Structure 1
C-alpha cells in the first residue's frame, strides 16, 4: 500500500505533466499569434515569458496547492534553467557520445529533464516542506 506522501507526489507529478502540456500549447499558440506582428525572436521571448508566468500560477494552484509569492515567482525561472541544462547535456550525450542521431535526441533528453525539472519545481514551490510530515514534531511539555 502506498503512503499518503507517495500518492501526493504522484498526483503532483501527473498534474505537473498536464500543466507542462498546457504551457507548451499556450506558448506555441502565443508564438504563432505574435509572429503575425513582430519578429520571431520577439514573438518567442514574449510567448515564453507569458507562458512561463501562466505555468507558475497553474503549478502553484493545481500542482502544489500553495499560495503564489513574489519569492517563488522570481525563483520559478530556475525550473526552466534546470530543464535547459539537462536537455542540452542530454542532447550532447545522445548525439556526440552515443552517436544515436540528432533527430530524436531532444525527446530522449527530455525524458530525463522533465523529472529533474519536477524536483527543482517542488523545491521552489514547497521550500522546507520536503519530508516535513516525516520529521518528529517537538513535544510541548504539559503544565
Structure 2
C-alpha cells in the first residue's frame, strides 16, 4: 500500500533535521555574541545571514546528495526567505506576545519552521524526478501550450 506517508523521503527528512541541527548550532554560536552587541532582531538577522552559505553546502551534499551549482546557490536564498519569514514571525510572536526569552526564542522558532523549510528547500535543491513510463523509460517533459 502506497499512500502519502510512504511517499515521504524519510532519509532526506532525517538528514535535513541533522543539517538543521548543525546549522542551528552555527547560527546560535553567531547569535549569542552578536546579541550582546546588537538588539536581538539585528543579531538574529546577522547570524541567520552568516549561516546561510554553510546550510547550502550541507543540504546539497549531505541532505539531497546532489551537486551544488551556481543556479542552486543563487536560488537557495529563496528557500531561506521562507525560512527567515517563518522563523522571524515565530521569533517576534514568541518574544513579544508570549514573553519567551529572546535568548531561547530563536531555537523554538527554528523548530516550528522545520516542516515548511524542508518542503521549500527540497523543491529548490532537488527538483522532482521525471516520471517513468510502464517500460521504465523516463517520460518526456510535459510541455504547455498545446499538444505534443
Shorter-chain TM-score bucket reads 0.5 to 0.7
Q: Deviations over 1:7-44 (max 9, x none)?
A: 871110111111111011112223446x4xx9534795
In the alignment of these two chains, the number of paired residues is 127
* Unmatched tracts of structure 1, length 5 or more: none
In 1: Cα distance, 2:31 partner to 2:107 partner: 21
Change (3 A) 1:109 1:27: closer
1:84 to 2:81 alignment: no
In 1: Cα distance, 2:29 partner to 2:107 partner: 21
* Unmatched tracts of structure 2, length 5 or more: 141-148
1:75 to 2:75 alignment: yes
Which residue matches 1:124? 124
1:30 to 2:30 alignment: yes
Change (3 A) 1:91 1:25: closer
Q: Deviations over 1:24-70 (max 9, x none)?
A: 1112223446x4xx95347952x433311001000111100000011
Q: What TM-score comes out, normalization by structure 2 length?
A: 0.62
**What is the root-mean-square deviation of aligned Cα atoms in Å?**
3.9
In 2: Cα distance, 1:43 partner to 1:114 partner: 17
Instruction: Give the superposition deviation at 1:113.
Output: 2.6
Which of residues 100, 103, 106 is equivalent to 2:100? Answer: 103
Q: What TM-score comes out, normalization by structure 1 length?
A: 0.64
Q: Deviations over 1:74-131 (max 9, x none)?
A: 111122211233345667899xxxx9x453997776555311110110111012x24x
Which residue matches 1:15? 15
In 2: Cα distance, 1:64 partner to 1:9 partner: 10
